[in-house]
Amino acid sequence: MRRDLELDAIIEDYLNGKLSAAEQEAFEQLRSNDPEVDEKVVSHKLFLEAMGEYAAQRELLDKMDQIHADMDVTGLSAKLGPHPSKIVNFWRRNRMGIAVAASFILLCSMVVENYLRQSKQVGSYEQLDRKIEKVKRSQDNLIRTVNSAAAADPEASLKPGSFGGTGFAISANGYVLTNYHVISGADSLYLQNNNGDSFRATPVFTDSQNDIAILKIDDKNFSAFAALPYTLKKGKTGIGEVVYTLGFPKDDAVLGEGYVSSVTGFNSDSIQYQVAVPVNPGNSGGPLLDNSGNIVGMISGKDNRPDGAAFAVKSKYILEAINSIPADSLNKKIAVSKRNLLSGLKRTQQVEKLQDYVFMVKVYKD
């Protein structure tokens, strides 16, 4: 024990270079002769090296801790750290993701907007002819009949599709005005009055640009009307004029009342008025009258947005259309009424007189 202690002290002094030259020589002699001593020297050397490194690192860390303690680390953190606001942080951390998401949303909204703009141009003007329910079924029937080739009862199964609008008489001898879009593509036309009587009619004039069609009642059961109670207004009608219409959005006549809200129609079309009158599919071709019983226009369509306005072809263009019909294509002259029998009457009396001259236009298409 004593000897080991002395040996250790000598080894340490030897490694630290504290031995005198003579002592060192003697020790090296001992070391080379005794492997046990040599091993002790090697292991102690390793130990001292590790201890030295350890000491140096401890010292360095102590110094750094002192410097660190002197610094205003909290202040630096506030300046350099993440922003206290969660939103800003989120933005900083997910900048890339947000950018990608934003571009995606932008792209989507552009596509959707583009689509909406297209659909607005194409379809926001809704023509008010009524598709009568059986269309689809009857067409299906037709297809079925053809496919099965069982021509059991062609009269019953070949019911043509029906569309409906409104029309009104413009002369006592059986000329009726409606919209071109109501009758376009029709195979046969019937006019049904409020009493339920139907008359066959044929188109004698169409003007697709102004959406006007003139039909002639061509039915042996039809005898001339009594004198028309209304006149066609030649002049312009101003904003605010109270107007009403009678039409067939359903199987019975419906009155709609309102006022002229603009002197131009859809997309500022000067052929039409814009009117604040409730109209529905089936109202197309209905007469638009003012309080004095003058026809100021003909209902032709509406803006298809939920609270969209209605539009009516101006009477001026109706007159133009009537006058533009070549006289020789008519076998009877269109005599527009010059006497107004509605003026000064209450609305109920006006409608009562009017309804004999307003028809449901039934259109049969294959």
Helices 95-123 and 86-93: crossing angle, nearest 10°? 90
CB of 36 to other proteins, least distance (A): 15
Which of these segments, 39-47, 114-122, 177-185, 296-304, binds other proteins (CB under 8 A)?
39-47
How many CB atoms are closer than 10 A to CB 294? Answer: 21
Residues β-bridged to residue 216: 175, 202
Interatomic CA distance for residues 123 and 304, integer angstroms: 8
Residue 99 found at the interface with other proteins (CB under 8 A): no
Per the CB < 8 A criterion, the answer to whether 169 and 366 are in contact is no
Closer to other proteins by CB, 78 or 151: give it: 78
358 — phi, psi (to 5°)? -110, 130
Helices 21-33 and 35-70: crossing angle, nearest 10°? 120
Residue 5 found at the interface with other proteins (CB under 8 A): yes
Residue among 42, 73, 101, 108 that touches other proteins (CB under 8 A) = 73
Residue among 16, 20, 21, 80 that touches other proteins (CB under 8 A) = 80
Closer to other proteins by CB, 34 or 59: give it: 59
Residue 81 found at the interface with other proteins (CB under 8 A): yes
Interface map 137-176 toward other proteins (x if CB under 8 A): ----------------------------------------
Residue 51 found at the interface with other proteins (CB under 8 A): yes
What number of chain residues touch other proteins (CB under 8 A)?
A: 30
Interatomic CA distance for residues 125 and 198, integer angstroms: 30
Residue 68 found at the interface with other proteins (CB under 8 A): yes
Residue among 63, 136, 234, 305 that touches other proteins (CB under 8 A) = 63
DSSP state of 235: S
Q: At 154, which helix (H) or strand (E)? A: helix 154-157
Residue among 161, 125, 129, 133 at smallest CA distance from 286: 129
Residue among 42, 50, 88, 99 that touches other proteins (CB under 8 A) = 50
Residue 18 found at the interface with other proteins (CB under 8 A): no
In Å, how far are 30, 39, 41 from 12, measured between CA atoms?
Answer: 15, 13, 8
Binding residues for other proteins (CB under 8 A): 4-5, 8-9, 43-44, 47, 50-51, 53-55, 57-58, 60-61, 63-64, 67-68, 71, 73-74, 76-77, 80-82, 92-93
